[in-house]
């Protein structure tokens, strides 16, 4: 009886091990393929669509953890799904890059003029003394912050981080429009 039990256990192990090994190999191959495909677009994706890039990186980390934990079936499914998302992202990057470049071109064409207009409107106003209550509400201080943010946006654009540059540029535009409206309302 013991011999039959041991024989059954050996037979079951012999059947299960190749299946596990097969799943492990497939999961490892799928992960390697996904990581390689993502690494090819990683920098551009991070500069153009950083949120999507972060989501994929988090997914790769999670799938790798599943693989390391021996959950080959789920790791294979995750790697396959991530591979599809990476391909879709890679296919969409040229269009998203054009959109970001266009948005940046529009911002860099309009914001310097708006900041110059604000400079002219605020000419002669002094920066409030340090410690003055509500000094941050001063139009001169607000303009200084907008100029600093615009410089940061330009630096991000020059470094190729267009998504960051566009976000900062849009913030500067919104702040400049608000400041102009406040100045007109107060005139």
The tens digit of pLDDT for each residue in 122-145 reads 887 666 656 666 666 778 888 889
pLDDT at 186 over 70: no
pLDDT of residue 106: 96
What residues have CB less than 8 Å from 120, skipping those under 6 apart? none
| pLDDT digit string, tens, across residues 20-50 | 567 888 889 999 999 999 999 999 999 999 9
Per-residue confidence (pLDDT) for residue 135, from 0 to 100: 62
Q: What is the DSSP string of the chain?
A: -HHHHHHHHHHHHHHHHHHHHHHHHHHHHHHHHHHHHHHHHHHHHHHH-HHHHHHHHHHHHHHHHHHHTT-HHHHHHHHHHHHHHHHHHHHHHHHHHHHHHHHHHHHHHHHHHHHHHHHHHTTTPPPPPTT-TTGGGSHHHHHHHHHHHHHHHHHHHHTT-HHHHHHHHHHHHHHHHHHHHHHHHH-
Confidence check: pLDDT of 110 > 60: yes
Taking all residues of the chain, what is their mean pLDDT, rounded to a whole number?
Answer: 84
CA distance linking residue 154 with residue 60, whole number of Å? 32
94-119 average pLDDT score: 94
The pLDDT, as a whole number, for residue 7 is: 38
Q: Is the confidence at residue 6, as pLDDT, over 50?
A: no
Can you give the pLDDT at residue 138?
Answer: 75
What percent of the chain lies above the pLDDT cut of 70? 81
**pLDDT of amino acid 141:** 81
pTM above 0.85, yes or no: no
How far is Cα 92 from Cα 65, in angstroms, rounded to an integer?
A: 28
Residue 150: CB partners within 8 Å, gap ≥ 6? Answer: 111, 112, 115, 168, 169, 172
Indicate whether 121 pLDDT > 90. no
Between CA 160 and CA 135 the distance in angstroms is: 35
Give one word for 131, left, alpha or beta, with left for phi > 0 and alpha for psi -120 to 50: left
Q: Check pLDDT > 60 for residue 172.
A: yes
């Amino acid at each position: 009886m013991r011999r039959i039990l041991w024989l059954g256990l050996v037979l079951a192990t012999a059947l299960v091990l190749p299946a596990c090994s097969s799943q492990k190999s497939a999961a490892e191959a799928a992960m390697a393929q996904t990581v390689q495909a993502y690494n090819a677009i990683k920098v551009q994706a991070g500069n153009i669509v950083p949120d999507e890039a972060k989501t994929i990186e988090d997914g790769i980390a999670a799938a790798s953890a599943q693989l390391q934990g021996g959950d080959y079936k789920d790791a294979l499914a995750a790697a396959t799904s991530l591979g599809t998302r990476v391909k879709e992202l890679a296919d969409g990057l040229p269009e998203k890059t054009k959109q970001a470049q266009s948005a940046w071109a529009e911002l860099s064409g309009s914001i310097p003029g708006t900041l110059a207009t604000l400079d002219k409107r605020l000419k002669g106003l002094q920066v409030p003394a340090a410690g003055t209550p509500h000094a941050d509400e001063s139009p001169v201080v607000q303009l200084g912050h907008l100029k600093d943010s615009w410089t940061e946006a330009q630096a991000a654009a020059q470094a190729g981080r267009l998504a960051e540059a566009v976000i900062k540029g849009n913030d500067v535009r919104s702040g400049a429009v608000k400041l102009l409206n406040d100045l007109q309302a107060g005139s």
